[in-house]
Amino acid sequence: MDVSEVAVVAGGVAAIGWVNWYFFLAERRKAAVAAKVGATGVQQAVIRVEGGYSPARVRLRAGQPARLVFDRREDSSCSEEVVIPDLGIRRFLPAHQRTGVDLPAQRAGTYEFTCGMGMLRGSLVVEEE
């Protein structure tokens, strides 16, 4: 093999490695955003859906109902559904619309949420006061 072929192969291997790292191994932002409590006593957080979830980690208070508002700003088929397996929730998210997901009061713990394909990930961190 000449130098140009080696460079092409090395570039391809590097690209494959980066894609695998990005989707499966990279740490997502650790910062958690606390949900705001409205006048009704229901916690609410808006989660932007565009190539991922932002914020990807939402803090909730244990023992209080919550409403997550998923603001989907894209057409990607990967983000058309949100799944919260531990709570038995699966919701379709129409493109370029906001969709509310109401949660009953939860016990302290961490509850993961993903897209329907499991590639986009986020979590709800429910904490005691």
Strands across the sheet with 81-84, in order?
33-34, 57-61, 121-127, 109-115, 81-84, 89-92
Do 7 and 67 sit in the same domain of this protein?
A: no
Do 42 and 3 sit in the same domain of this protein?
A: no
Do 86 and 73 sit in the same domain of this protein?
A: yes
Structure tokens at 43: 């916690």
Q: How far is CA 15 from CA 20, 23, 28, 40, 120, in A?
A: 9, 12, 20, 50, 20
Do 12 and 69 sit in the same domain of this protein?
A: no
pLDDT at 5: 83
What domain count does the chain have? 2
Do 49 and 103 sit in the same domain of this protein?
A: yes
Domain that holds residue 17: 1-28
Do 18 and 63 sit in the same domain of this protein?
A: no
Rounded to the nearest integer, the mean pLDDT of the chain is: 87
pTM of the model: 0.74
Percentage of the chain with pLDDT > 90? 66
Decide if pLDDT at 27 tops 60: no
Let me know: does 70 contact 98? Beta carbons within 8 Å.
yes
Q: Indicate which CATH number applies to the domain containing 100.
A: 2.60.40.420
Q: What is the pLDDT of residues 60-105, one digit of tens each?
A: 999 999 999 999 999 999 999 999 999 999 999 999 999 999 999 9
Listed in sequence order, the residues at least 6 apart from 62 whose beta carbon sits closer than 8 Å to its beta carbon are 105, 106, 107, 108, 126, 127, 128, 129
Do 20 and 64 sit in the same domain of this protein?
A: no
pLDDT at 18: 63
How many Å apart are CA 6 and CA 72, to the nearest integer? Answer: 42
